[in-house]
Chains A and B, each alone.
Chain A
Amino acid sequence: MALSSNTRANGGGSSATVAQRLQKELMDIMMSPTPGITAFPDDENMSQWTATIEGPTETPYAALTFKLSMEFAANYPYAPPRVLFKTPIYHPNVDFSGRICLDILKDKWSAIYNINSVLLSLQSLLGEPNNSSPLNAQAAELWDSDQAAFKQHVLARHKTPEELDA
């Protein structure tokens, strides 16, 4: 009896504790917002979030806004959130359905990360793609060879949130 309850408390945690943790993260984000990054739950059960990041300046993504969806499992923060780009993006580490190849969202995940740090990593990934393990090989190639052409591809693929909604 004691053992099982222990396991639950340490290992997974009930959805209530996940919600609590997420609410606390939300509060932290709101108390000290990071410029260019916002995130907000979709509804009261907190497991689905939408985040918005702005492209870093002096990169092909400057002045563009990207929406992402985040999904938290019941054992968060012991498992990474499932993050997808909702806005179409042309990026070496993101495929055409928005899936992301980023180590901390996979095997390098640790419970000390949180929403804010994930989003910050993603923002920096925009400026510094990891071309050694591309999901979009063409983009990776273009990034290295022709920045101007790369940017054109980025702009061609990008859609503003309004266009997305429409």
Chain B
Amino acid sequence: MDYKSRVFASVFPIPSLSHTTPTPIATPDLAYTAPGSSFGSPFASNVSGQHRAIQRNLAWSTATRFLSLPKSNRSFDLHRGQRSNEVQDAIYYLLVGDGKSEHDGEEGLVEWYTNEARLHFANSMRSAVKDLWRKKIDLRHAWDVLHEVQRMLEQVQNLYLQPFTDHILPFLYQSDGSSSTLRASKVAGHGQAGVADAAFWKFRRDIHAVFAHCLPLKRFSKTLSYVLYDAGCRLFHIYVRHDGVQPSTTPEDTKTFRQRMTSLLQGLERVGLGGDNAQKAFAHAMDKLLDSFIASHYLKVDWYSKKSVAPHLRMWIQHGFCPLVELVMECLRCDPSTVQPTELQQWQEMALGRLGRARVDNLFEFVINWDKSLGAILDIKEYLKLTNAKQYLIANFSQHISRRLLHPGVTTTYILDVYIFIIRAFHELEPKGVLLERVARPIRRYLKEREDTARIIISSLLTEVNDETGNVFVSGGELSSEIAGEMQRPFANFHQDADEELNWGDMNWQPVPIDASPDYKKSKVEDVIWFLLTLWEREDFINELRNIFGEHLLRCQDPEYEKEIRLLELIKIRLGDDKLQACEVMLRDVLDSKRINASIRADSGNLLQTPDHTQHPETPEGAGPRTPRTRRLTTSARSRLQSTPLSKPPEQAALNAQILSSYFWPLLRDDQFLVPAQIQKLQKEYEGRFERIKGMRKLNWMNALGDGTVTLEFEDRTEEFEGLTTWQVSVVYAFQPQPGEEKVAGAKGKGKGKDSSLSRTITQLEEMLEMEESLIRQAIAFWVGKSVLREESPDTYSVIESRSTSAADEDAAAAAEELATVQAAQSTTVKSQADLLTDKKPVYMSFIFGMLTNQGNLPTMRILMMMRMMVQGGFPFGTEEIKGMLVEMEKEGKVVPLGGELWGIKK
């Protein structure tokens, strides 16, 4: 409105469509004017006694016209000019004077102005602001958008506020009686509110509400939250971020950046966007920031210094995180804007909790990489002080274990190794061992189920770490070097006092941890072997130990048995002297045998003497009656033969025997077959001498045990083989021409030239050697593999007298060698459980039959129980085997299943 029109309007107010127009002026006031007052004058307000309504209407139109906001879009410049006295009076009249709104129906000037601002905003600004939010906001532009919004809003806010502060507030203050001071708009607080302050705050609040209303609040707070998060990331140089934004390579100037953030936040706060919403957004941002910071700075494990990062994290919270929070809170005018010590502690715990959980998620890795991962474990240890941390750790780690460890794809050796690592790591984590006990329970259960566990443990215990060829005596080569390493450790304080709980004088006594399970046992020592040995009942373990120890002794090459003696001593310390009697006897047997060998050899002079090499591998030929040993010391003995060359020309052979007390040894292989005649002769000889020395004790040869060395002479070469099994020796010896055959062979040889050797079929060999076919085939495969024999036609073999270069031979040899290796791996000296079952099956079956006949129908469990009690020497099998036998007997028509687990005799 230009000045002219304003002048005109002051005299003849123009009716307007806008709400700013008060009651149309043209409308005559029907009331009479008071006597002596002019009629219908614009200055009626000045005239006292004039009717109030009219006066108010006039003042209203004057004031509103003056205060109305520009209609045109985006013209924020204010050409309102000076207010005239007239306007001043009008405003005064309306705000403070008689014209104050008196009842609800009457609109006050302040309300009107608020509406005016609201309308103005709706008409001119809202669309612009909304435009900014119409599209998805790219993360990169988040800052810009917020800046822009803040700028625009601040501008309009100034537009609205200025008239308000210039033209309305002063009057209100006057009425408050503090007319002289126009307070700075920002200082006012609600508490001291006079009318003026209250009005001002109300106005501001209204405008802010309008502003807030035009923004999509959720998106706004998300954006703000992101911006804060981004700021935090940049300030703390975080590399791993939630948003995947790669940090700029050039380090940003933290100061300027902080400035930027501060100004934005303060601006937002000024336009009313800093309230609760912003604080919530801020909280979200800080939450994420904490995660990112931990992930970025602390998740890396320091594999070298092996230190916990927890103290550093605490420091960061105190000196890095808190100042940032305080800064932002100050910008957002939070109350109070400082961090309390309790809050600080809470945050530190929170951060530690997050670090801990992240660490626990990777605990499995840390455990396998023990002890390089000590730092991480220490972090977790710190974390465990928090509530619920233990439960989380147990649940999480158990899950990892069952997923990654306890499945058929993992070798037992590996499980054992990991178990040892777990023991060590958890000992560090929680010395009392409650956690370990919880976590290890499934592993222990699983290990018990695996068949080869005991075997591996014991074999490993018997291994020497420093020994390069440590695994000579383990067929599968499955050894846990960790266990072996443990065995080397000193265990000074191993002796655990059984009555520890009753030791009243123990000044270091502590109660059992509150979260321990009932079967918790205090283990004062971090003794891995102890954990492994307690996997089974001690007796079971010792039985297994006996088997493996026996096998080991038989295969052992060291004449002094130094290592074995030492290891037995070590195990004795752990398991107790009394339990290992059998092993001691076994050890004494082999040592005694050596002495007896020497004395017999010295005695006999020539016959049994070893030509030049005493260490010539031995052919232990075992003997041991498998039928009940009458009395423990009527020695049934096995002996070890030392034999030298067998093949042509048969020169002198030597024999070394090992005499074993069968009562103490585990059941050994006792395949019967004929050893070469020479050896038989030696055995006889040896037997005789032994009986003379040992006074009528009988020897019982076990031919399948032992090893031998032979020298084979061919037409074109001589080869020596060491460490052969006895059946291999016997089989190759069988290719020696027999007394009657020599001529035939010779004649044949002449006729055929090269192929002068004998050929034998498998059946022939079976008859000659009285050996089982499987053993023969095994031996043949070995010799074919060594290019000593060749398969002429199926099941017929002959000696390769002169080595040809034929590819067929070589191929066959390679294939056979492979086969021989596989078979060798399967053969063991000590009988396996399965062999034992096959052996004893008839006896067991007659047990079952007798039981069912006399005791009536029985369930499988009862049968098993009876077997365990009644069978002499124990019944080392379970229900599975019982069921297997029952089914077999059912097929033979002896028993019938009666439903459920019940079995009875077939009638």
Contacts and interface: CB of A to CB of B under 8 A. Distances in A.
Q: Do A and B originate from a single complex?
A: yes
Interface of A: 23-24, 26-27, 29-31, 33, 38-42, 44, 49-52, 67, 161, 165
Given A27-B871, A38-B850, A50 B843 contact: no
B840 to A, nearest CB: 10
B850 A23 contact: no
B843 A40 contact: no
B82 interface: no
Contacts of A42: 855
A50 B851 CA distance: 9
A33 B870 contact: no
B851 A40 contact: yes
Contacts of A39: 850, 854
A30 B843 contact: yes
A41 B870 contact: yes
A40 B872 CA distance: 14
B735 interface: no
B889 to A, nearest CB: 13
Contacts of B846: 29-31, 33
B553 to A, nearest CB: 29
A38 B849 contact: yes
10 contacts: A27-B843, A29-B846, A31-B843, A31-B846, A38-B854, A39-B850, A40-B870, A41-B870, A49-B854, A50-B855
B872 A23 contact: yes
A116 B435 CA distance: 59
A57 B453 CA distance: 55
Given A33-B846, A38-B849, A27 B854 contact: no
Q: Give the 9 A-B CB pairs with smallest separation, nearest first.
A: A50-B854, A40-B854, A38-B850, A27-B872, A40-B850, A44-B869, A38-B853, A30-B846, A33-B846
Contacts of B869: 44
Contacts of A38: 849-850, 853-854
Contacts of A52: 853-854
A24 to B, nearest CB: 7
B751 interface: no
B251 interface: no
Interface of A is mostly: mixed
A128 B869 CA distance: 37
A165 B905 CA distance: 15
A44 B871 CA distance: 11
Interface residues of B, number: 15
Nearest to A46: B870
B541 interface: no
Interface of B is mostly: helix
A42 B869 CA distance: 11
A38 B850 CA distance: 5
Contacts of B856: 161, 165
A40 B855 contact: yes
Contact of A51 (B628, B851, B854, B872): B854
B847 interface: yes
Contacts of B849: 33, 38
Given A30-B843, A38-B850, 6 more contacts: A27-B871, A27-B872, A38-B854, A40-B853, A40-B854, A67-B854
Contacts of A49: 854
A10 B856 CA distance: 37
A33 to B, nearest CB: 5
B854 A26 contact: no
A38 B846 CA distance: 9
Contacts of A33: 846, 849-850
Contacts of B851: 40
A51 B851 CA distance: 10
A140 to B, nearest CB: 29
Interface in B81-101: none
A44 B870 CA distance: 7
B800 to A, nearest CB: 47
Nearest to A65: B853
Contacts of B853: 38, 40, 52
Contacts of A27: 628, 843, 871-872
Contacts of B872: 23-24, 26-27
A135 B620 CA distance: 64
Nearest to A27: B872
Contact of B847 (A30, A50, A161): A30
B667 to A, nearest CB: 16
Contacts of B843: 27, 30-31
Interface string B846-865: 11011101111000000000
A20 B189 CA distance: 102
Contacts of A29: 846, 850
Nearest to A51: B854
A35 B851 CA distance: 15
A23 B854 contact: no
Nearest to A23: B872
Interface in B825-883: 843, 846-847, 849-851, 853-856, 869-872
A98 to B, nearest CB: 16
A49 B849 CA distance: 15
Most B CB contacts (10 A, CB to CB) among A30, A41, A50 go to: A30
Contact of A30 (B628, B850, B854, B855): B850
Nearest to B851: A40
Contacts of A26: 870, 872
A165 B856 CA distance: 9
B292 to A, nearest CB: 69
A29 B853 CA distance: 14
A58 to B, nearest CB: 22
